[in-house]
Amino acid sequence: MYRSEWVDRGYPSTCASASAAPPPPDGFVRVYHLCEARYAIANIEKGRLKVATFADANDPFELSVFFSRDPAQRLRLKDYIDDVAKRFGIVCFSEDWLDPTLWSHYGDRHQGIALGFDISEQHLLPVRYQSQRAVFPSVVASDLVDQFLGTKYASWAYERERRIIVEFASAEHETVKLATGIDRELFFEKFGSDVCLREVIVGPLCSEDVVALRAKVNSLHSDVATFKARLADKFFSVVPDEPTVPPRR
C-alpha cells in the first residue's frame, strides 16, 4: 500500500509496515518500541515512555565497551561508568518489528504490542555492535559518552537498536511505592514534536481487541495506524494482518 513510498525514503522494501502505514517525513526515523500490552496501553494513555536505567538492563555488559589492565585506569574507568549510569537513562527502539525474536524477547512472547514512532534523527543514537572491547583512553574525548551509551556486543545486532538518551536531571519523573514499601523514582520521555506516535501494532498472540484499541488510540492521538500482526505464512517473520490494516486515506 505504501511500499514505494518507504523505498523512496531509503527504507528496504521488506520493512514490516510498508503495507500498513505511511513512512516518516524528512528529518525523522520510524522506530518501534515493543513491550507488554498493559504497558503499551498505559504509554498511549499517558503519552510517555518509561526510561530504562542501566541498573535494570538485561545486558550485563551495558557500559562495558572499554577495559583496562592498569589498576589506576580501572579505578578511573569505574568512576566514569558510575557517573554515566547515575546521569543517563535510555529508551530503546528497533528499526523494524518483523523479527519474531524481538517479539519473543521484548513483546511478551508475541502477546505484547509494538508502538511505532517518528523520532527526529537528531534525537536518536544508533547502537553500534562490536565483538571486542576497547582499551579505555587516557584522554576522555567529547564523544566518549555516546560510545558508552551506544555500544553493544555483536550478538545483539539482530535488535537493530536505536536509543533516546535521557538525562535524569531534566526528565519528567514521579515517585512510586513498590510492593516492598520502598519508594522508587521513575523517569519518562514524553511524546511530542520529536517523538510522535504513528503506529500501534497488536502482537500475533495479544488478546487486546484491535477495534477497541484503535478507538482508544484515535481518541488520544491523531494520524496513528492501529492494526494487528500475524505470523507470516512463508517466512520466519511477523507481518501485518491485512484485514485489520486501516484503509489508505
Contact in structure between 168 and 50 (CB atoms under 8 Å): no
Prediction pTM value: 0.94
pLDDT of 183:
81
Q: Roughly what angle, to the nearest 10 degrees, separates helices 210-220 and 37-46?
A: 20
DSSP code of residue 243: G
- Contact, 73 vs 136, CB < 8 A? yes
Averaged over successive runs of 10 residues, the pLDDT of the chain (249 residues) comes to: 94 95 96 98 98 92 94 94 95 98 97 98 95 89 85 97 96 82 89 97 98 98 97 96 91
Classify 193 in phi/psi space as left (phi over 0), alpha (psi -120 to 50) or beta. Answer: alpha
Let me know: does 39 contact 115? Beta carbons within 8 Å: no
Neighbours of 179 (CB within 10 A): 5
Assign 3-state DSSP to the chain and report helix, strand, coil percentages, each to 5.
Answer: 30, 30, 35
Per residue in 32-42, is it b (16+ CB within 10 Å) or e — as a string? bbbbbbebbbe
pLDDT for the residue numbered 198: 98
